[in-house]
Structure formats: structure tokens, C-alpha cells
Structure 1
Amino acid sequence: MQKMNRLSIGPELRTTSVLVVHLLLTQFNRGQSKLIGSSQPIVATVGDDIILPCRLEPAVDVTAMTLEWTRSNLNPRFVFVLRTGRELVNIKHPSYKGRTSLFTDKLRQGNISLKLSKVKPADEGKYQCFIPKLNEASLVRLVVGAAASPVISLTGIDGDKGGVVLQCESKGWYPEPELLWLDAEGKILSAGPTETVRGPDDLYTVSSRVTVEKRHSNNIICRVQQRNINQIRETQIHISG
């Protein structure tokens, strides 16, 4: 009798076990592929061609899927849209026309990274890659910077203080930088206010003047720096007696 009971219960247990395993695998498979962007900001220099990374892990062929890159603060918000293998240019934001593309040969591997050409200061911000069919999204932050070496020129003589007046100017920075005058020992000199001009290309020009007195050392440094993009440019001038 005990043997018959075991035989009659066995198939029910097996059926139940198979059903549970099937449900677990179904739930697992639904959520196993995730879009991976970049945990660190992508830093680009104005004029560069860069790649904003985004891929599915594990890889899934997305060739036939709708793929979207967007920025929420734009109207329209679309940076790039691919649907059934064709780009939807008519809904793309005008500032990105002709500057964004995907690597179509890598879509089979689940790679939907965006190539952005000729980076502009206005491109800085957060980008989202999105696959509607999988309801998967990931964010990538782009930081844009530009730096240029300063130029020092002699603009006059200060008879009252017995020194010379120097001007330092640096063009083509982004974001807005800081300008400092230093002596040969690295001590900050008291100087006039920094004048800042933002051009139509969104790049900054900064300039400042300083009076170098006899008590100062002969080597004077103009330093322009932008901490957000970790850029420093310096120019040194030697003032003879």
C-alpha cells in the first residue's frame, strides 16, 4: 500500500515542480537583460566626436526594435530614434540633425551606443537610451569642456607705482573659467577684476590686468583654470629691469 501511495503522489509533485520552475524561469527571463550606460560622466571637448555608451546585458538582438535616445529638457526631446531599421529624422531635435548615429553593425549584440559628432557646449546634459519593447532605460551624462592657453601682453607703465601693467587674455573656454595672476613662488597677486565675455558659440573669453611692481619677482604667471573639467592653462612672462 505504501508503494502505491508513493507512485500516485509522484506525478502530481513532478507536475507541480515543473510548473513552479517554468514560472520562475519566465520571470527571470523577462527581467534578465538590462540596459547599461555609464556610471561616470562622459567628458568631451568642444569639437570632438564622442560615444555615449549603452548596451543590453546579456546581449539581445535589437535590430527590429524601436530604439530611442532623448533629453528630457529639449522640445522635441528626441536626439535619435530608430524604428524597424530606419531613422525617424522628422521628429529629431534640429540641433542634432546630421550629428547623431548608431552602430548598426552592433545592434545584433544589443549595443545601442550613440555617436555624437562635433560636440557643442549646448550638448552638455543627461541623455536617456530607451527600448520601449523591453521597457528598459539607462541614463548617460555628458560634460562638455574647452580650454585654451592665455596670452600676456604689456599694456603700459605705471609711473606712480614704478611698475608695468600687464594684460592676460584667454579665448575659447567652457564652462566659464577662473583667471589668476601669480608670482614666481605661486603667490596670488592682487589684480583688477576679470572681464568675461560669452560669444555666440557659447565659449568664454576672460581677461584681466595686473600692475607688476619692482618688489615683485621678475617672473609673472597668468593661470586660467576650470575645476569642473579639470583643466589648467598657464603662460609666464619675464619682466626685466
Structure 2
Amino acid sequence: MSSMKDKLLLVLYHDVILLLLTWHCGGQSQMIGPTQPLIAMTGDDIILPCQLEPARDAVDLTVEWSRRDLKPRFVHLKRDDAEHMTQNSLYSKRTSLSFNKLKCGDISLKLSKVQVSDAGMYNCLVPEIGAETGMELVVGSVSSVVMEISKVTNEIFFKCKSNGWYPEPQVFWLNSQGNQITAESTNSAKGSDGLYTISSTVTVNKRQTYSFTCRVQQKSINQTEEGHIHVSADFFLIQCNPAVQITINVAVCLILIVTTVLLIWKRGQKKTKIRIHDEDENELHQTEMEEKLQRECEEKKRLEDELQNNEEDLKHVRQTIEKLMEQRTCLKNQREKLNTLIQEDKTEMKEAVKKEKETPLLDKEKKMNRRGDKKTNLEKRTEVHEELLKMTEKLMEETENIIIQMTERKGKLEKDKEQIIKHLREKQRNERDSEETVRETSEKI
């Protein structure tokens, strides 16, 4: 009976201890952070999430954001209800905590204007309660692909190049069916700014039509850029006849123009990203307002640069349309000339046949060989002129199509220009408003 009683007391003792431990641990806050790496592009703003669970007021707590691979290691430090400037100089004026969010236990860090050097492992720590979590930030940078073409005898060299990537990307060549092909050479170099430049070359030597795609991609940041190029079989034609040489020169000019148009179109795909900050003006500190003013100035400068690039593209497109109109006129003249030559060939052929019928039988045998050669030459010359006429008409059709595409491109650039001017005026108004707010805040302080 006594033994049974001892066992019951021992069980009750363990239950009490377990309840005490559960109660004590249940009041301890934990840190919740992301389980997957965060991805940001250079120049963007990003939030590094960090949350106390269960939520509690963290305004009076010490908050440490750090990277162990840096010296000094602090990215951002808040202590004694004040944010200290003992952080690493790489993050100067680029980090901030939200006072309102701190009241709810949200100690997420805002990192502005992300740089390549910001990539790494970040640690979020509240020393008073021992709550800590870590996360990885992956920084990426991308750039458009530039295509180049050159010809030596019967070989064509296709080259694609792209500057300003991070991390180091991969490059692939695809044919018109989307199948991957092997490149002649691929080179990658890292610049002083930490960004990669990659280039790759493919060589072909058969006289046929080619369409290639150069794809540059970085899987870890899920970014892909492509460049496309098309070369028709006419690019390889080499004839001694002056009329054929004219056609070849026109074809080469058209190919170079199409390549230039594609490059302009690709760069034009880079759309304007406008960031709108909606914050409570009554709780803004003077330093935050100065930073906002600086951002407005930089955004205005970016829009001014983009407007300049748009005007340059628009000017180039207009010049291209003028050159295409000249090419079309040249082709029309060449077509008329070829029609005249074909008509003359047919007239000479009729005269040769007529003379052959009128020639006496005795003379006919003597002149048979000479007239046969002349007739054969006329037939060959007619075939050459007719073939040139077909090529000229084909080039005229392609020229018309390109003129239509360039005209549509011109209209799009003009609309983009109107939008950029609209946003630029809006930024100028915001800049004036921010300057006024800074002055008012300074007077109150």
C-alpha cells in the first residue's frame, strides 16, 4: 500500500514539473523568418522579413541585423529606443525599421537600392529574449542581348553579347526549330563592378536560310534574355553581272537594317518602373524626408535619361524609314529597268526567228551555227533577267513589310515618349512637394 502511494506521488511530481516547464517556455517569444532565399535585383528596394512569435511590442528592445562575413558586422542596430550609426559603411542610409511595425513585433528590415555586394547571409537578433533567425539574400542583375553578324567569303559569324549580369549566367544557341546547337566559343569575364560580361559565337558556311536565337539565362534568379537574328539565302549570292551585284548590295543593306531594328525593338522593351511611396507624413522624420527627396531626384534623372534614349530611338527609326523609302524607290527603278531589258530580249528573239525563216536555204546552212549561238545567248540572258526580276520583286515585298513594322514601332515610341513626359512632370511636382515638406519639418525641429 505504501509502495503504491509513493508511485502516485512520483507521477504527480513529474506532472507538476512538466506543467511548470510548459508554462515557462510558452511565454518565450521565437523569431520567424523566411525558409527560402530572398531574391532582389540591383537597384530595387527589398524587405528582409523577421517577426516575433507570439507578437509583442519591440519598440524598447534591442534589434541587431548583421552579417558575419563583414567587419563591422552590423547592417542595422537599434538600441535604447534609438537607431545607432555604428553599422557597416556599405549600408549607410540604406536601412530602416518601421516604428509602427515594431509595436506588433515585426522587426523586418527595409534595404534600399540593392547592390551586388549586398548578397549574403543575414542574421536577425533580439538579445534580451534570445530570439534569432537567419536568411539568405540573392542579388541579381540582368542586361539585354546584342546580336552581331559578319561575313568572310562563304562563312557567316553570328555573335551575341550581354553586359551587366550577376550571378554569372549561361548562354545557349537555338535554331529555328528551338533545338540547342553547339557554339564555336563562349567567354565570360567579371568586371571591376562585380558584374559579368558574356559573349558567344556560332559559325555557318552553307548557302541557305538561317534563323538563330541566343538565350542568356540565370536560373538562381529566374531571369532570361534573348536575341534573335535571321539571314536569308540571298545573303550568299555572288554574281559577276552588275545588276545582280546591285541586288546583293540591297539585300545586305536590308539585313543590316533588320538587325538594327531588332536591337532597337529589344531595348525598347525595357519598361519604366515607377515606385510610389505612400507613408504617413505626420510620422516622417527629417532624415527620411531627405532620403525621399534624394530618391525623387534620382528617379527624375532616370526618367530624363530614358526620355533621351527614347528620342534617340525615335530619331533612328525615322532615319531608318527614310532609308527604306529610298531603297524602295531604287528597287522600283531596277524593276522597270529589268522589265525593259526583258522586253528587248523578246524583241531580239522574234527578229532572230524571223530572219531565220527569211534566209535562203543555201545561206541558211552557212549561218546556222552563228545564229544558233546567238539564239542560245538570248535565251540565257532572258532567263537571267527574269530571275533578277523575281528577286527584285521579293526584295520590294520585304521592304514594304519592314516599312510597315518600322512605322508601327515609330507610333509606339511616340506613345512611350508621351508617357515618360507625363511621369517626369509628376516627379517634378513630387520633388517640389518634398522640398517644401523638408523645410517645414526642419522649422518644426
User: TM-score normalized by structure 1?
Assistant: 0.84
Cα 1:63–1:210 change in 2 (3 A) is same
1:98 aligned partner, one-letter code: K
- Could you tell me which runs of 5 or more consecutive residues in structure 1 were left unpaired when the two chains were aligned: 1-15
- What is the root-mean-square deviation of aligned Cα atoms in Å? 2.0
What is the distance in 1 between the residues matched to 2:80 and 2:138? 31
Partner residue, 1:157: 151
Equivalent in 115, 133, 148 of residue 138 of structure 1: 133
For CA contacts below 8 A with separation 6 or more, give which structure has more relative contact order. Answer: 1
Instruction: Supply the AA of the counterpart residue of 1:57.
Output: E
Residue 29 (structure 1) shift: 3.8
Paired residue secondary structure (1:82): strand
Q: Which amino acid aligns with 1:158?
A: V
1:209 correspondence with 2:206? no
Cα distance in 1 for partners of 2:177, 2:214 equals: 13
Structure 2 distance, partners of 1:24, 1:204, is 55
How far residue 199 of structure 1 moved from its aligned partner, in angstroms, is: 2.2
Tell whether 2:222 aligns with 1:230.
yes
Matched with 1:3 is: none
Please name the residue that 1:219 is paired with. Answer: 211
2:188 to 190, 196, 199: 196
* Equivalent in the alignment of 1:100: 95
SS in 2 for 1:209: strand
Aligned residues: 219
Instruction: Map 1:25-40 to 2 at 5 A.
Output: 26-31=23-28, 33-40=29-36
Provide Cα deviations, 1:111-138, integer angstroms capped at 9, x if missing partner: 1000011111111111110000001101
Query: Deviation of residue 22 (structure 1)?
Result: 7.9
Answer with 1 or 2: which has the greater Rg. 2
Is 2:39 the partner of 1:43?
yes
For the pair 1:114 / 2:109, whether they are aligned, the reply is yes
- In the alignment, does 2:61 pair up with 1:69? no
- Structure 2 unaligned residues grouped into runs of 5+: 1-12, 234-445
In structure 2, give the amino acid aligned to 1:83.
R
Q: Could you tell me which amino acid in structure 1 is paired with residue 94 of structure 2?
A: R
AA at the equivalent of 1:219: S
Aligned equivalents of 1:232 and 1:215: distance in 2? 31
1:166 Cα offset (Å)? 1.7
Q: 1:195 to 1:20 in 2, by over 3 A?
A: closer
- 1:25 Cα deviation after fit: 6.0
What residue number does 2:124 align with?
129
- Kept in 1: contact 2:208–2:232 (CA 8 A): no
User: Does structure 1 residue 82 correspond to structure 2 residue 74?
Assistant: no
TM-score, normalising length from structure 2? 0.47
**Does the 8 A contact of 2:209 with 2:232 survive in 1?**
no
Identity %: 44
- Aligned-pair CA distance for 1:226: 1.2
Whether contact under 8 Å (1:158, 1:211) holds in the other structure is no
